[in-house]
């Protein structure tokens, strides 16, 4: 069994209701869970807007998702909760979240108590839901992605994710 399949099986066994959210269509055409202090999040939001979409912008530090919504997003992304944890600039180490023995439920509890632990930006469209790191990941989720985009740091991104 490949490692990814084992993770999915473990996640579904540990948190069986993840499975019901996989492959669900978004009720909102484009939604971004955004942190305006994050350059990756700002670049992602700008690429969405340049594609002709005006997304629903949720500043998740001010308005964190409910537990049910967070579980839904994790399920739609097809990742384990640990893959959504942000380490840098958070209480990750202080809380001992590097302990591989922690359950998915415990990791979600930590994200609910400390929303800064939720990595961003998360983008949800009719084409899927993804953690958009790097920011050009969003291009695959958009109907009319920009051909070329220059990030805040000067990096040039072309449709298809190629960077200069």
- Which residues does the annotation mark as catalytic? 38
Beta pairing, strands 56-59 & 30-34: parallel
Query: Token pair of 73, please?
Result: 């997003």
**CA distance linking residue 136 with residue 151, whole number of Å:** 9
Q: First-to-last CA distance in the chain?
A: 37
- The residue among 108, 129, 22, 16 whose CA lies nearest residue 65 is 108
Other Cβ atoms less than 10 A from the Cβ of 137: the count is 17
Beta bridge partners of 97: none
Token look-up 């579904």 returns 12
Other Cβ atoms less than 10 A from the Cβ of 26: the count is 16
């Amino acid at each position: 069994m490949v490692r990814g399949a084992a993770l999915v099986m473990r996640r579904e066994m540990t948190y069986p209701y993840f499975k019901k959210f996989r492959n669900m269509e978004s009720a909102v055409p484009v939604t971004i869970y955004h942190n305006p202090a994050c350059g990756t999040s700002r670049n992602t939001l700008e690429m969405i807007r340049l594609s002709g979409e005006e997304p629903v912008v949720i500043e998740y530090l001010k308005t964190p998702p409910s537990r049910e919504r967070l579980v839904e997003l994790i399920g739609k992304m097809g990742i384990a909760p640990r893959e959504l944890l942000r380490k840098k600039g958070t209480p990750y180490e202080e809380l001992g979240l590097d302990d591989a023995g922690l359950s998915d439920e415990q990791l979600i509890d930590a994200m609910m108590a400390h929303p800064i632990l939720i990595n961003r930006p998360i983008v949800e469209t009719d084409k899927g839901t993804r953690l958009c790191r790097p920011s050009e990941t969003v291009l695959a989720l958009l109907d009319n992605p920009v051909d070329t985009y220059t990030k805040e740091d000067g990096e040039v991104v072309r449709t298809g994710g190629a960077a200069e």
